[in-house]
Amino acid sequence: MSRVTEGRRVLVRVPATSANLGPGFDTLGLALAEYDEVEIETIEPGRYEIEVEGVGAGEVPTDESHLVVQALHYALDQLGYERPGLRLRARNTIPHGRGLGSSGAAIVAGVVGAAGLIGDRESVSSERLLRFATDLEGHPDNVAPCLFGGLTIAWMAADGEPRSKRLMVDRGVSLLVLVPEETMSTSVARSLQPSQVPHADAIFNLSRAALLVAALAQSPELLFESTEDRLHQSYRASAMPKTKALIDELRAEGLAAVVSGAGPSVLVLADDPAARLRAAEIAAAHTDTTWTAYPTAVDIQGATVEEVSKQTVSPSA
């Protein structure tokens, strides 16, 4: 096996993501302009020095079981490299357990970091990075936008390999993320899904998902109707009643609000900044829980890895 040079240092930056977007269950995802940064340095094998600042400090592991380290190890294994010791410093801003892709971001940070550390980024294709990340995450809807930025359509090809297509989002789309105090387990959310759905509901979601791609890419005025969903949000509502109550109120006001990922955060897809402001005011009026409003934008670059003193390199879709 090959060996990573000791003393190599890279800085990885990964965006938050919001998956599903209403009707696009396990398929559509957006990269958001909120980021975690991880500085990684190779040291002597067997040693791990991990420091976490911001979100997760004092809560996530600080040994080799840290998710970034696990993902980096997996990618190096797949690429035929020995596992080096690591000095890792994570500066986190993506909320954990709230449907904003924090685990996907950690996995992407690890696989992209591995590509940067071996010093031959061009030999690791975007397709391989997506496969490594999907192997660990289980599905590509969060890791694809985190890797490539923008709006992504992700799917599993007939050969079992993950695929994705990146699209640019119309400048008229304004985003607002509303994050509650409560957390939600993705596995719990998925356990509430039925194994079968009515034929009419499947057709309904197909039409809305197709319309949503058009709304995000060129017709923001269609965002409200295109974010209707019958496949997953209603089934998960019992596990996050405060999220459901807020979404119901926002949609009653004509605002395109959906569950972000597995929840419990809410994503508002507005067609003008005034609508985004109105959504924040409605959330602030809720007294059952504290909703923190994050006006944000679509990240168009995706994950980046920067060698010390060298230019940033970004995976391309």
Domains, the chain, ordered by start: 9-168+299-313 (3.30.230.10), 174-296 (3.30.70.890)
The model's pLDDT over 186-241, given as tens digits with 9 standing for 90+, comes to 767 667 777 788 999 999 999 999 999 999 999 999 999 999 999 989 988 888 99
Residues 234 and 189: beta-carbon distance below 8 Å: no
Residue 150, pLDDT > 80, answer: yes
The model scores a pTM over 0.85: yes
- How would residue 312 be classed by pLDDT, with cut points 50, 70 and 90? very low
Number of neighbours of residue 297 by Cβ within 10 angstroms: 14
Residue 260: what pLDDT? 97
Instruction: Report how far residue 152's alpha carbon sits from residue 102's, in angstroms, rounded to the nearest whole number.
Output: 17
